[in-house]
A and B are shown apart, each in its own frame.
Chain A
Amino acid sequence: MLDLLKPSMLLAAGTMLATGAFADTRELVINSNLSDPAPKQALADVVADFEAANPDVDVTVNTFDHEGYKTSIRNFLSADAPDLALWFAGNRMLPYVEAGLFEPVDDVWEENGLNDSLKSAASAMTIDGKKWGVPYTYYQWGVYYRKDLFEQAGAEVPTTWDEFLAAGEALKAAGITPITIGTKYLWTAAGVFDYLNLRTNGYEFHMDLTAGKVEWTDDRVRATMENFKQLVEAGFFLENHAAYSWQEALAPMVQGEAAMYVMGNFAVAPLKEAGLTDDNLGFFQFPAITEGVPLAEDAPTDTIHIAANAKNKDDAKAFLAFIASADQQTKMNATLGQLPVNSGASVNEEDPFLVAGFEMLSNAHGLAQFFDRDAPAEMAKAGMEGFQEFMVKPERLDAILERLEKVRQKVY
């Protein structure tokens, strides 16, 4: 078991395929975590356009499985760095920024007017007053639901907590599980917590909590958990959710056994592939809980960064400017089924989920990245494990909160 301590470079090496050896072309290497078909295509299109515009640059894309990427990025950034690497905004990039593995790119922002066009994501890209990459997409979180099941159960799309509970009860009475969820990999439970906390205590409190400024044993956290408990104890969530991944939890919704999913917009593609259409799949904003708390949303931003050890930083910067442009963001996000960050880009009007999401986010009081991007890694892990445990054993609330408080005091 001790040999696990040796960093494995196999992954990085395995995907490095030899590229063309043209004498006067410059090589640009991108490591990507976009392994699903649509996202992979979206990046391939950008690369093709970039190569067409810059015939002397030869781009290589190394695609990693997106779960494996999260662990291999550490190895390849320090040992065998690509020029560009895809990653996530917020606290998730902090370790690489602190270790000096990402290159600051304020000049790219300055020269291409990104401070205006990408303004909405500027704060999520800034650490220590510098910008560390460029966002290429973001997406909304919210409640995806089966319109036909709601109708069948006589449930209404809720806008308040009481309506939400009433809708759930109506669904249960019709023999339908109100909310499907698969918590095997933990983060899905954090989505529910994020929304409950944003709606119970508001954006500012949520950001303070994830930044470690508030105790986990605080009464306001307890209020959030009290609302969580209402859902758990009323049997709103899919049974045995801890046994399923988020993809496996899509099945009950497709089969008409569950009606809602608190998820990111990336769930739409697999749901539609499984046979749902715009006619029976709908989206609504997570309902308000505490009156007077302005509605803020989870909207994780995906980003691209220059590795500090990159060999071809000039072309890497050109690529950042290219992928940040309004045209490319429009095109890329149409394929991705997500929202462009560039304010000059346009949203795919054909897609009702994107239109709804764009409108919701434009009116949001604030945008959170997501629990595991807003909170530091160790806190995120402990927190998500706590939420999962709470969903199975709500009676352990006190022990869980005390454990999280202990972790908080250690981490920050």
Chain B
Amino acid sequence: MSSLAAYWKANQLRLTPWLFLAPGMFMFAVYVIIPIFQSFSISLYDWDGLGARTFIGFDNYVELTDDEAFYTSLKNNVIWLLLYLLAIPAGLFVALFLNQTVTGIRLYKSLFFFPFVISQVVVGLVFAWFYDPSYGLMNVVLGLFGVEPIAVLADERFVTYGIIAAGLWPQTAYCMILYLTGLNAVDPEQIEAGRLDNAKGWRMLWYVILPQLKPATFIAIVVTVIGALRSFDLISIMTDGGPYGTSRVLAFYMYEQAFSEYGFRMGYGAAIAVVLFLIMMIYIAYFLRRMWREETEGL
């Protein structure tokens, strides 16, 4: 007893931080770290999620290399990643537009933020109706100009872009709110100084405002890239991956293989998850490195 007390006394400073960290580390291990390794180990098996597992080595990955649907999903993921970034300039534009003092501006800001508040499922439904080839608003409007109706969600050429457009709606609102907060922190003295030096319009934005918005831009890129990579709900609601699988992304394909009505391939699903994880890893590594540099070098 006394020896324990003595040990505690001697090492109190060293032990305390670990004790405080323990609950968080425990949760992080159980819900993040261990599942990552579990997914990887499941991806080496042929398993229906119910019966016995059979170890098949890297066969699932070999099969992936010869799977058209996998390449379609990968390609769509890249399209998502690139086009989703449009939410950042769009959000900035809306934020600049709303960053003024007019009566009722709070109301306008809330209205612009609204799409981010409603559920993605609702966004998906609204856009599915918007695109509906026979009654949808889009085709009614196109019809006024004599354009034949376009079945966006039933046409392999447009479907992914149609879903991304739906996703950009809430994502733009999100980026807007990030920039609005950022704009509040912009130093009015610097703007004043810029004015005195005859800076205005684009030059003012580019050289005076944007550098001060760098933290907001950084966060906007982070949430948008992650949002693009984990896009799932809109696809599931709007097209269910169709027509004939052309709007799938990796996250959706993984779900389909492992959990959907005709799924039952846990190993194959896990292999897709691992690939998606590795893609995210590239990005996360960059993000962590930057954070680390900022903290150590104060960039």
List residues of chain A with CB under 8 Å of any chain B CB. 1-7, 67, 70-71, 74, 78, 95-96, 98-101, 183-186, 239-243, 372, 377-378, 380-381, 385-386, 388-389, 392, 403
| Contact residues in B for A184 (Cβ distance below 8 Å) | 154, 239-240, 242-243
Verify if B79 is at the interface (C-beta below 8 Å from A).
no
Could you list some 14 contacts between A and B, CB below 8 A?
A: A2-B36, A4-B254, A4-B255, A4-B259, A99-B48, A99-B51, A183-B243, A184-B243, A239-B151, A240-B154, A243-B154, A377-B263, A386-B244, A388-B244
Q: Are A74 and B50 in contact (CB under 8 A)?
A: yes
Q: Are A3 and B31 in contact (CB under 8 A)?
A: yes
- Set B51, B232, B262: member contacting A378, Cβ < 8 A: B262
Give, as a whole number of angstroms, the nearest-CB distance from A81 to chain B: 13
Q: Are B151 and A243 in contact (CB under 8 A)?
A: yes
* Given A186-B242, A403-B68, 14 extra CB contacts under 8 A: A1-B254, A2-B273, A4-B258, A4-B259, A5-B273, A6-B35, A7-B49, A95-B264, A240-B133, A240-B149, A242-B154, A378-B264, A386-B244, A392-B244
A-B complex: 7 closest residue pairs judged by Cβ atoms: A99-B50, A240-B151, A381-B262, A242-B154, A389-B244, A243-B154, A242-B243
A2, B243: Cα distance in complex, Å:
26
Which of A184, A241, A243, A380 is packed against the most chain B CB atoms within 10 Å? A243
A377, B277: Cα distance in complex, Å:
27
- Set A1, A96, A239: member contacting B50, Cβ < 8 A: A96
| Contact residues in A for B254 (Cβ distance below 8 Å) | 1, 4
Q: Are B68 and A388 in contact (CB under 8 A)?
A: no
Q: Are A185 and B245 in contact (CB under 8 A)?
A: no
Which of B133, B134, B245 is packed against the most chain A CB atoms within 10 Å? B134
Task: Give the residue name and chain of the B residue nearest to A384 (CB).
Answer: B262
Q: Are B36 and A239 in contact (CB under 8 A)?
A: no
Q: Are B242 and A242 in contact (CB under 8 A)?
A: yes
| Contact residues in B for A100 (Cβ distance below 8 Å) | 51
Q: Are B273 and A388 in contact (CB under 8 A)?
A: no
Verify if B261 is at the interface (C-beta below 8 Å from A).
yes
Give, as a whole number of angstroms, the nearest-CB distance from A326 to chain B: 33
Q: Are B259 and A380 in contact (CB under 8 A)?
A: no
| Contact residues in A for B42 (Cβ distance below 8 Å) | 5
Which of A78, A101, A239 is packed against the most chain B CB atoms within 10 Å? A239
| Contact residues in A for B273 (Cβ distance below 8 Å) | 1-2, 4-5
| Contact residues in B for A372 (Cβ distance below 8 Å) | 262
A186, B261: Cα distance in complex, Å:
12
Q: Are B230 and A1 in contact (CB under 8 A)?
A: yes
- Set A1, A5, A186: member contacting B232, Cβ < 8 A: A1
Task: Give the residue name and chain of the A residue nearest to B229 (CB).
Answer: A1
A6, B262: Cα distance in complex, Å:
18
| Contact residues in A for B184 (Cβ distance below 8 Å) | none
| Contact residues in A for B269 (Cβ distance below 8 Å) | 5
A5, B273: Cα distance in complex, Å:
9
Q: Are A101 and B35 in contact (CB under 8 A)?
A: no
Task: Give the residue name and chain of the A residue nearest to B153 (CB).
Answer: A243
A245, B167: Cα distance in complex, Å:
22
Interface string of B117-132 (1 = CB under 8 A from A): 0000000000000011
A5, B240: Cα distance in complex, Å:
19
Q: Are A377 and B262 in contact (CB under 8 A)?
A: yes
Task: Give the residue name and chain of the A residue nearest to B151 (CB).
Answer: A240
A183, B241: Cα distance in complex, Å:
12
Q: Are A2 and B39 in contact (CB under 8 A)?
A: yes
Q: Are A243 and B259 in contact (CB under 8 A)?
A: no
| Contact residues in B for A243 (Cβ distance below 8 Å) | 131-133, 151, 153-154
Q: Are A2 and B277 in contact (CB under 8 A)?
A: yes
Task: Give the residue name and chain of the B residue nearest to A4 (CB).
Answer: B255
| Contact residues in A for B259 (Cβ distance below 8 Å) | 4, 71
| Contact residues in B for A96 (Cβ distance below 8 Å) | 50
Give, as a whole number of angstroms, the nearest-CB distance from A112 to chain B: 29
Q: Are B39 and A239 in contact (CB under 8 A)?
A: no
Which of B134, B229, B243, B251 is packed against the most chain A CB atoms within 10 Å? B243
Give, as a whole number of angstroms, the nearest-CB distance from B29 to chain A: 14
**Docked complex: B126-166 residues within 8 A CB-CB of A:** 131-134, 149, 151, 153-154, 156
A43, B72: Cα distance in complex, Å:
43
Verify if B270 is at the interface (C-beta below 8 Å from A).
yes
A95, B262: Cα distance in complex, Å:
11
Give, as a whole number of angstroms, the nearest-CB distance from A214 to chain B: 21
A184, B239: Cα distance in complex, Å:
7
| Contact residues in A for B68 (Cβ distance below 8 Å) | 403
| Contact residues in B for A380 (Cβ distance below 8 Å) | 262
A184, B240: Cα distance in complex, Å:
7
Q: Are B133 and A239 in contact (CB under 8 A)?
A: yes
A6, B31: Cα distance in complex, Å:
10
Task: Give the residue name and chain of the A residue nearest to B251 (CB).
Answer: A1
| Contact residues in A for B131 (Cβ distance below 8 Å) | 243
A95, B265: Cα distance in complex, Å:
11
Q: Are B262 and A5 in contact (CB under 8 A)?
A: no
Give, as a whole number of angstroms, the nearest-CB distance from B254 to chain A: 7
A99, B263: Cα distance in complex, Å:
15
Task: Give the residue name and chain of the A residue nearest to B51 (CB).
Answer: A99
| Contact residues in A for B239 (Cβ distance below 8 Å) | 184
| Contact residues in B for A386 (Cβ distance below 8 Å) | 244
Q: Are A95 and B35 in contact (CB under 8 A)?
A: no
Task: Give the residue name and chain of the B residue nearest to A7 (CB).
Answer: B49
Give, as a whole number of angstroms, the nearest-CB distance from B127 to chain A: 12
Verify if B16 is at the interface (C-beta below 8 Å from A).
no
Give, as a whole number of angstroms, the nearest-CB distance from B48 to chain A: 6
Give, as a whole number of angstroms, the nearest-CB distance from A387 to chain B: 9
Which of B48, B153, B230, B259 is packed against the most chain A CB atoms within 10 Å? B259
A371, B50: Cα distance in complex, Å:
23
A389, B247: Cα distance in complex, Å:
13
Known: A2-B35, A2-B39. A389 touches B243 (CB 8 A): yes
A183, B32: Cα distance in complex, Å:
38
A104, B270: Cα distance in complex, Å:
32
Q: Are B261 and A70 in contact (CB under 8 A)?
A: yes
A185, B36: Cα distance in complex, Å:
32
A385, B36: Cα distance in complex, Å:
31
Give, as a whole number of angstroms, the nearest-CB distance from A53 to chain B: 35
Q: Are A392 and B39 in contact (CB under 8 A)?
A: no
Verify if B260 is at the interface (C-beta below 8 Å from A).
yes
| Contact residues in B for A67 (Cβ distance below 8 Å) | 261
